[in-house]
Structure formats: C-alpha cells, structure tokens
Amino acid sequence: MNAYWPSLIGGMLLGLSAIALLLLDGRIAGISGIVGRLLGGGQVPLNAAFVIGLMSGPPLYRLAFGSFPFPREDFTPSIPRATNLVFPRRN
C-alpha cells in the first residue's frame, strides 16, 4: 500500500483545491479558463495562485519523496479490464 500513498495524497489535494475554488469563487477548476482569465487580466491574484500552485506540484513532490515517480509495468490486469467496463471499445 505504501506505493499508492503519493497518488492518493495528490488526488486528495487536487480534489480539495477544486472544491475550494468552486465554493469560494463559484467556478469550476478548468485550467484553460483559469489561464485565459489570468492572461486577460481578470482575477489575477486568485488565478495566479492557482497556476503557481499547479506548477509547484512536481518540485514539491520531489522534495517530499526524493525523486519523481517512474512509470510501472507491473500492474494488475484487473485495472484495464475495469476501465473497459467504464469506457467500452467501439469497433
């Protein structure tokens, strides 16, 4: 289970930030809209904080865990099968 903690914590932080943006500003956390408003000069402090937080994720991950994660090939076959249930292939 230790291998899943970084992913779990990262997903929880993303979810919390999306909820906070929705509750505090009434907007959905879509990166294209946030960057568009930032470049257009709208709500600069809030949008800049979101983009800076998004960009600081990888360096903070490396500081916390010592290195970046590497892709793994030893996954269980049940995960691709489960995704096929949600997203069936179209022939």
Contact 22, 29 (CB under 8 A): yes
Instruction: Name the band, by pLDDT with cuts 50, 70 and 90, for residue 28.
Output: confident
CA gap 17, 31 in Å, rounded: 12
9 pLDDT higher than 70: yes
Give the whole-angstrom CA distance, residue 91 versus residue 87.
13
Model pTM score: 0.50
Instruction: Read off the pLDDT of each residue in 39-67 and give the average, rounded to a whole number.
Output: 86
